[in-house]
Structure 1
Amino acid sequence: MFARKSIAQVQRETETSELKRTLGKWNLLLLGVGCIIGAGIFVRTGSAAALHAGPAVLLSFVVAGIVCAFAGLCYAELSSTLPVSGSAYTYGYTTLGEFVAWTMGVLLLLEYGIAASVVAVGWSGYVVSLLADFGIHIPAQLTGPAGYTLMRDGAPVLIDGQTVTTIFNLPAFLICIALALLLVRGVSESAKVNNIIVAVKVSVLVAFIVVGGLIVLSKLPQLIATNWTPFIPANQGDGKYGVDGIMRAASIVFFAYIGFEAVSTAGQEAKDPKKDMPFGIIGSLVVCTVIYMLVAAIMTLLVPYTSLNVPDPVAVVVDAFGPTWSWLAKIIKIGAIIGLTSVVLVLMYGQTRIFYTMARDGLLPRVFANVHPKFKTPYINTLLVGVITAVCAGFLDINLLGDATSVGTLAAFAIVCLSVIYLRRTAPELPRGFKVPLYPITPILGILSCGYLITTVPASVLLLFVIYLGVGMIVYFFYGMHNSNLQKGEPQDDRPDMGEYVAPVGEQP
């Protein structure tokens, strides 16, 4: 239950992986940018502002960015030390033991698979909006979760005088299935597609920032008086506005920063992981934080925050540019769709690699690690991930999915920060391509800040989270623990060939 992988075994698995090394540092940076930019700007920013922070959602991004920086630095150190597929799961296995590793795997299903569902729902909203601009209308009943009353600007949507109750989100379901099939063809092809998508998406966002910024500057005093006064709405309790609302909104938008963590799941496919992975993690975090701040400021200045409680808030903002820019509004909506496509792609990619690693360790059935003879991808688990994300996106509410993702992400990040502390104490001689600055302050702050943001999530979501973890523990005790490679006593070399002796994790040198 508390068995740990040695450093030697982790390094040996890196060498014996069947996955091809095709990703350079710029591929990894674009991989991170492709995941980070999307959910935070295009999907959940609107609800975070409308329901919790008001115009001060800008500060929520600052808070989330700072918390993410703590975790990002810890990820950079671990990824340069243990550059293997599996991300936080592998880090936990090597430092804190198998039970923690299994827990991390359960958390990462929320952080990746369910997050992909969240973004797919946002993707659906933009597709529906764009098609409507061209006179094509998807039946409203097929554009939302089961049993949901369609809302717009805080009021129910009426068709023929009747409210609309949705049955199934068809576009969200279809995009998940389509991208799963793309991933089956292989990471190399998927990475090339992602690079193109990121380039288009960033170009569209630059256009949004430039045009929106010019409009804002032309009437800044008026906009501040109208939409930014008060900048922090009065606290109404239960995380609605005020400082509490800012922190609640930070927990909502935080999951949008998981792109840097997706980079760490690509360890076995990076050309030079010890150098390239820290570059991809920190670089993508810096680039995307700057973009988030600019876009959030423009959004909340141009449109009253009460109008942003929609799955496609950017569409609402670009429509406010005015008729002169109607052509640009359509282009930006297309860019949003392209951007969200890349986010779903990267999140699903990360989830499949985590399942792949867990199956190789015996914690999941071996079929999850079966590699396609032609494409060299874990095709069976990729198809399963596609089905899981598609069903969740098609039937469940975006706010429930988003809150679950946030809790899982924050818990996983806290464990990663703890892993850095443990590994520094138990294996100080281990070569590290990157070291966390201001150690141990940085990882400690990461643990505390992640824990605090978890407390801002509604109690009902936390209860569901505990139940979910409980089910995961049952699966571990009845299957994973009995089939684990380590528990079965498979031999492993505890002394890595690194020029000097490095104590296996869990032993003092």
Structure 2
Amino acid sequence: VRTGNAAALHAGPAVLLSFVVAGIVCAFAGLCYAELSSTLPVSGSAYTYSYTTLGEFAAWIMGALLLLEYGLAASVVAVGWSGYVVSLLKDFGIVIPPQLTGPAGYPLLKDGVQVVIDGVPVFTQFNLPAFLICTVLSILLVVGVSESAKVNNAIVAIKVAVIVAFIVICGATVLMDLPARIAANWTPFIPPAEPGEGHFGVGGILRAASIVFFAYIGFEAVSTAGQEAKNPKKDMPFGIIGSLVVCTVLYMLVAAVLTLMVNYKSLNVPDPVAVAVDSMGPQWAWFAGIIKAGAIVGLTSVVLVLMYGQTRIFYTMARDGLLPRVFSAVHPKFQTPWINTLTVGLLVAVAAGFFDINILGDLTSVGTLAAFAIVCLTVIWLRITAPDLPRGFKVPLGPLLPILGIGSCLYLITAIEAKVLWFFAYYSVGAVLVYFAYGIHFSRLQQ
């Protein structure tokens, strides 16, 4: 969803290297997740790990960070979903008014130039498709949509098939005139630095790494299987590093094909793959339709899973007394936390409908990086306070890798735009105030 933005504004074709940087940072955090999941007898999540080891206040902060990692991530993916839906509908002659396909108050552009009607500049007002998909999915979650293993496997197969088809078929067209495409779109591979924070050059690669880091959200689910692994000391690092290597290679191949097919300057859109397949010409319209439809199916499931994860985090926090009890109230018929789910749906839908995908994505990355840093810190803290605790898996090289994890996460945070970091600072202060105004007085520990 954000690969095009990372390439267009920050790294150029060198966005491939940004995926490597982000993957290495994730590896540090993933190994720390693995140690915690194989050590603590609790269901695997950053919130429960923090609650068990660092205490209630740290758990509250982690819960606030996970709202950015899951809640805002759902909004970002919904905006990307909107881009692919708008593109696919346009192929069938159905055009949604452009003013209703973007965040509020942003210039409506055509070929990079702001649209002007009767001398009046036109601005986008609301991302209607993104708002609608979040609303519909929240209602489905209330009713109780649970994906069976077969359905989930089918959706994963569709996602992988779309990625592989894009790499193979589009890659083949690229190879037909590779020298010309390299000269036109990959020269220079690392565009020279320009004024501004993280615009090309090495700084741009690192800035783009903080953006494409978004693509790795959810990888920590691999680490939560530590208690089920037959040989965790061997299986966990292999599973985590192996999955990250596979994902990184796939991401790099997609980014390579994208930036060779279309000049990176044209990719600052929420649906970069659609832009690339459309550039193949009308004779490939059938293939473009398949890719877009597959992307829509895959992104729909991602939004659903992220929203579901956020509702379960709120549910757990409410049971711990850190949020009002109403967030753990279960619907008498559907047996789902319906008020919680509708609240999450409203927050996600409003964010997707009114806010820019780049700001939402950066906030998601900041929250996720901060959460990963705390997870790495938790491993160090537990090593000090409970050195004799049985561990099915231990992060190798003592405290070195957790320290590298903390440092790399914090460094990528500093690469994000200052205005986003200021917003994150205000958000964090607000979270602390809410804890001392409500959570500390009504928590289960205090009771």
TM-score class, shorter-chain normalisation, is over 0.9
Separation in 2, partners of 1:58, 1:161: 42
Which residue of the partner structure matches residue 27 of structure 2? 69
Separation in 1, partners of 2:117, 2:177: 37
Separation in 2, partners of 1:263, 1:352: 20
Matched, 1:363 2:317: no
Q: What is the identity, as a one-letter code, of the residue corresponding to 2:422? A: L
Separation in 1, partners of 2:354, 2:150: 31
Matched, 1:203 2:161: yes
Higher mean displacement: 59-68 or 148-157: 148-157
Q: What is the identity, as a one-letter code, of the residue corresponding to 1:106? A: A
Q: What is the identity, as a one-letter code, of the residue corresponding to 2:352? A: A
Matches within 5 A, 1:336-347: 336-347=295-306
Which residue of the partner structure matches residue 432 of structure 2? 473
Matches within 5 A, 1:124-203: 124-157=82-115, 163-186=121-144, 188-189=146-147, 193-203=151-161
Separation in 2, partners of 1:302, 1:444: 40
Structure 1 residues 485 and 286: CA distance shift in structure 2, 3 A:
same
Q: Is the 8 A contact 1:86 1:358 kept in 2?
A: no
Separation in 1, partners of 2:217, 2:140: 22
Deviation at 1:378, TM superposition (A): 2.7
Q: Is the 8 A contact 1:255 1:405 kept in 2?
A: yes
Determine which of 29, 37, 40 is the counterpart of 1:79. Answer: 37
Separation in 2, partners of 1:160, 1:273: 65
Structure 1 residues 364 and 81: CA distance shift in structure 2, 3 A:
same
Matches within 5 A, 1:153-302: 153-157=111-115, 163-186=121-144, 188-189=146-147, 193-237=151-195, 238-261=197-220, 273-275=227-229, 284-302=243-261
Which residue of the partner structure matches residue 112 of structure 1? 70
Matched, 1:452 2:411: yes
Higher mean displacement: 188-197 or 342-351: 188-197
Q: C-alpha offsets along residues 388-426 of structure 1, whole Å, 9 cap, x if unaligned?
A: 100110111111111111111111110001111111222
Determine which of 71, 96, 100 is the counterpart of 2:58. Answer: 100
Q: C-alpha offsets along residues 405-464 of structure 1, whole Å, 9 cap, x if unaligned?
A: 111111111000111111122223333333323332211111000000010111111111
Q: What is the identity, as a one-letter code, of the residue corresponding to 2:165? A: A
Separation in 1, partners of 2:316, 2:44: 5
Separation in 2, partners of 1:186, 1:86: 22
Separation in 2, partners of 1:223, 1:193: 39
Which residue of the partner structure matches residue 4 of structure 2? 46
Q: C-alpha offsets along residues 115-147 of structure 1, whole Å, 9 cap, x if unaligned?
A: 111111111111111101100011122111111
Determine which of 285, 304, 307 is the counterpart of 1:326. Answer: 285
Q: C-alpha offsets along residues 368-402 of structure 1, whole Å, 9 cap, x if unaligned?
A: 22334555433321221111100110111111111
Structure 1 residues 151 and 77: CA distance shift in structure 2, 3 A:
farther
Deviation at 1:60, TM superposition (A): 0.7
Aligned length: 441
Query: Structure 2: which 5+ residue stretches go unaligned?
Result: none
Query: Structure 1: which 5+ residue stretches go unaligned?
Result: 1-42, 489-509
Separation in 2, partners of 1:262, 1:252: 20
Q: Scaled by the length of structure 2, what TM-score is found?
A: 0.92
Q: What is the identity, as a one-letter code, of the residue corresponding to 1:381? A: N
Q: Is the 8 A contact 1:107 1:408 kept in 2?
A: yes
TM-align CA RMSD: 2.3
Q: What is the identity, as a one-letter code, of the residue corresponding to 2:162? A: V
Q: C-alpha offsets along residues 13-59 of structure 1, whole Å, 9 cap, x if unaligned?
A: xxxxxxxxxxxxxxxxxxxxxxxxxxxxxx11111101000111111
Deviation at 1:299, TM superposition (A): 0.6
Which residue of the partner structure matches residue 506 of structure 1? none
Q: C-alpha offsets along residues 172-196 of structure 1, whole Å, 9 cap, x if unaligned?
A: 0111112222323447437654432
Q: Is the 8 A contact 1:64 1:251 kept in 2?
A: yes
Which residue of the partner structure matches residue 315 of structure 1? 274
Q: Scaled by the length of structure 1, what TM-score is found?
A: 0.81
Matches within 5 A, 1:20-59: 43-59=1-17
Q: C-alpha offsets along residues 286-345 of structure 1, whole Å, 9 cap, x if unaligned?
A: 432221111011111111000101111111111122333221011101111112112211
- Give percent identity, aligned residues only: 75
Which residue of the partner structure matches residue 503 of structure 1? none
Separation in 1, partners of 2:147, 2:439: 33
Higher mean displacement: 302-311 or 281-290: 281-290
Q: What is the identity, as a one-letter code, of the residue corresponding to 1:440? A: P
Separation in 2, partners of 1:273, 1:210: 38
